[in-house]
Amino acid sequence: MESKERLASLDILRGMDLFLLLAAGPVIHTFLRINTSPVWDGVRQQVSHVAWEGFVLWDIIMPLFMFVSGATIPFSMAKYREGERPGKAFHLKLLKRFCLLFFLGWIVQGNLLNLDFKVFHPFANTLQAIAVGYVFAALAFVYLGKRGSWVFGSLCFAAYILVFVVFGNMNLDPQGNVAMVIDKAVLGSHRDGVIWNSDGSWTWNEGYQYTWILSSLNFIVTVMLGCYAGTILKDTSRTKPVRGLLLAATGASLVVLGVALGSWFPIIKKIWSSSMTLYSGGICCLALAVVYFVVDVWGKSKGLNWLKYFGMNSIAAYCIGEVINFSSVSKSLLHGFEGLTGDYYSLVVTVANVTILFLILRLMYKRGIFLKA
């Protein structure tokens, strides 16, 4: 049955996202460090997070990773909508996924491998945002049904705004907004971005502007938007082209709503603002619609299937790419090119690092080795 098939467009889109982050990104960033000419300023702007308000290409990576995780829910948990009762195994699987993603987040960005509790960051990584969003979206999907899920997602969305209006007086200062105040109060010295001094004291890093605790409400919404997109694509009562068009229309509507809301509550990714949630969710829907048409409607996946190396092993790709530095291997093998390539030697090393990651993921894909949470 079609409903039991794996949707290739989801794997390929997630692969595009991870490839941009872990392969194309490092190569482009290295090239731009070497070439400081203003000619490349347009590219440089798109591959660097905006300082505060606004949105560029690089800002879609995290929302898309979360969105696609939600889009898989209607496929992996369809049996619960079809009558099977969720039991102990279901809840244990969700708990396992939550704990594993949080643990991996600690390794990637929480400084767990430093073995120094002083610099440990318990909540500071994309995997942990996915963990929170996925668990609540999955529970809503299974227990609340279609209408109940919409209500729950709307309540999360409204609650975030309400906290900013009632308790935050709509203060959008990078260090003074209510989301940042909550993070500082709850996480304290374990908040990511804290600066430790030689005398053992610590101070806030004013340059760190990301928030996590209050933002979790909109993390949930982002994953639930992905879940809704997956529901559209799984609806076999409609033809594939109609599903793709409905998803595209949903995406366009979300973008318009995000821009409209942004005139009052600006698009700010670092606090996962409400307008950013809608705007990025819309872009994700549109991106998925395009890939869905190309891959699943028109069957034009030739030349794209290699992206599944990243997409079907996204957690492994993310953790290996973010934690392991292959430079020692690359430099050991390619040190002779340093004199030949001059300033571009760092680019040679970066390309080699990315190639090693690619070959590892390809080998895992070919051997059927997939890291599942």
Q: What is the pLDDT of residue 357?
A: 98
Q: Smallest Cα–Cα separation from 70: which of 2, 138, 121?
A: 138
Q: What's the pLDDT tens digit per position in 24-40? A: 999 999 999 999 999 99
- 171-215 confidence digits (pLDDT tens): 999 999 999 999 999 999 999 999 999 998 999 999 999 999 999
Given this model, what pLDDT does residue 355 score? 97
Residue 280 has pLDDT above 50, yes or no: yes
Residue 3 clears pLDDT 90, i.e. is over it: no
List of long-range contacts for 242-245, beta carbons under 8 Å, 24+ apart: 243/292, 244/289, 244/292, 244/293, 244/297, 245/289
Whole-model pTM? 0.95
Per-residue pLDDT reduced to its tens digit, 47-70: 999 999 999 999 999 999 999 999
Picking from 218, 232, 215, the residue whose alpha carbon sits closest to that of residue 71 is 232
- Across the range 151-166, mean pLDDT stands at 98
- Categorize the per-residue pLDDT at 1 as very low, low, confident or very high, splitting at 50, 70 and 90: very low
- Looking at per-residue confidence, does 105 or 2 come out higher? 105
CB 291 within 8 A of CB 79: no
Query: How big is the chain by its Cα radius of gyration, in Å?
Result: 21
Residue type at 72?
T
